[in-house]
Amino acid sequence: MTKKAKRDFIAITDFTESEIRETIKLAADLKKKRQKLDVLAGKTVGCIFHKPSLRTRISFEVGIDELGGNSIYITEKEIELGKRESIYDAAKVLSRYLAMIEIRTFSQDDVEELARHADIPVINGLTDLLHPCQIMSDLLTIVEHKGKVDNLKIAYLGDGNNVANSWLKAASRLPMDLRIGTHKDTPPDAKIFAEAKQAGKSKIIVTDDPVEAVLNADVIYTDVWASMGQKHLQEEKDKLLASFQVNSKLLRKADSGAIVMHCLPANRGREITDEVIDGPQSVVFDQAENRLHMQKAIMVKLARESF
Ligand code: CP
Ligand code: NVA
């Protein structure tokens, strides 16, 4: 029997448009049925975390358990990836023990190197550049609340970070009207922006006018202004991004049926006010729940195509 080529999920663009749509459907189905499966029976998934995590860690561990597998939580202390030994050697050794790796770390290049050399699927659980599992599950949340994702007006407000970059990646696969409202000194990644524009799927603008970004929007999305590993920049970002706060005044510029999203953890009172995050348009806890169903769908897809 010939060995299947393994698949990774380290950027949304690792999936084709139809694979993204199928994975959203699969996640919705897994959510509806919520039963124990045996996709990962007898297998172990390594969950490497070099940054803190509530949602990603717990949803992966619960998801792995619900798929019949076993998980190992691995911090920087144990393997010192790329320091104690090369990423190549670590990838080869981990591939002999594990069936899959999920990794949250700083450098996207490290994740790509790990994936290149591992003989097992690698899933990106967040880097400084991207957070693909987050936006995949957010697409499910949008479908649940708006009935579709295609051609919606999606306004991302705040720091041009890993979450903003992942929205650009999503916009290069699915048609949407994506408006990123941010300061000129906190833009999303220039290469990812150029690639998303070049893909020609979506209408995409980056604007320093928060009202232009949210005008008649169907979805308003925000994230912390200073990401993990950048907390020393908090004061500077607070100043640059103050006018991009998602508050009730700004929300009134959006469509009256707009939903408000935040990947969490939130810095209440900074990028979003209590009245908005706790208000009737907020879907933040549906987003958090959907991380579980989407992680399961991604693992099922990679397992089917790699084992
Ligand atoms: N949204 C998200 O990834 O949360 P955690 O950092 O808690 O995993
Ligand atoms: N942009 C945030 C997302 C946290 C889920 C960070 O990287 O810290």
Domain ranges of the chain: 12-131+288-306, 135-285
Domain 135-285, CATH class in plain words: alpha beta
Q: Which two tokens stand for residue 176?
A: 């949407």
Whether the domain at 12-131+288-306 and the domain at 135-285 fall into the same CATH topology: yes
Catalytic residue list contains 55:
no
Phi/psi at 233 (nearest 5 deg)?
A: -95, 5
From atom 7 of ligand 2, which residue's Cα is the shortest distance away? 227
CA 88 to CA 36: how far, in whole Å?
A: 34
Whole-angstrom distance, CA of residue 193 vs CA of residue 305: 30
| pTM for this model (two decimals) | 0.97
- pLDDT for 78 equals 86
Distance (Å) from CA 303 to ligand 1 centroid: 23
pLDDT tens string 169-209: 999 999 999 999 999 999 999 999 999 999 999 999 999 99
What CATH number belongs to 12-131+288-306? 3.40.50.1370
> 153: part of which helix (H) or strand (E)?
strand 153-157
Dihedral angle over CA of 303, 45, 59, 13, nearest 10? -50
Q: Is residue 102 within 8 Å of residue 49, measured between CB atoms?
A: no
Q: In this predicted structure, what is the pLDDT of residue 80?
A: 87
Instruction: Tell me the C-alpha distance between 102 and 115, whole Å.
Output: 10
Mark whether 133 is an active-site residue: no
Closest-lying ligand 2 atom to the alpha carbon of residue 56 = 5
Pairing of strands 153-157, 219-222: parallel
Q: Which residues of the chain have pLDDT under 50?
A: none
Task: Say if residues 186 and 206 touch (Cβ distance below 8 Å).
Answer: no
Question: What is the per-residue pLDDT for 152?
Answer: 98
Is ligand 1 within 6 A of the CB of residue 104? no
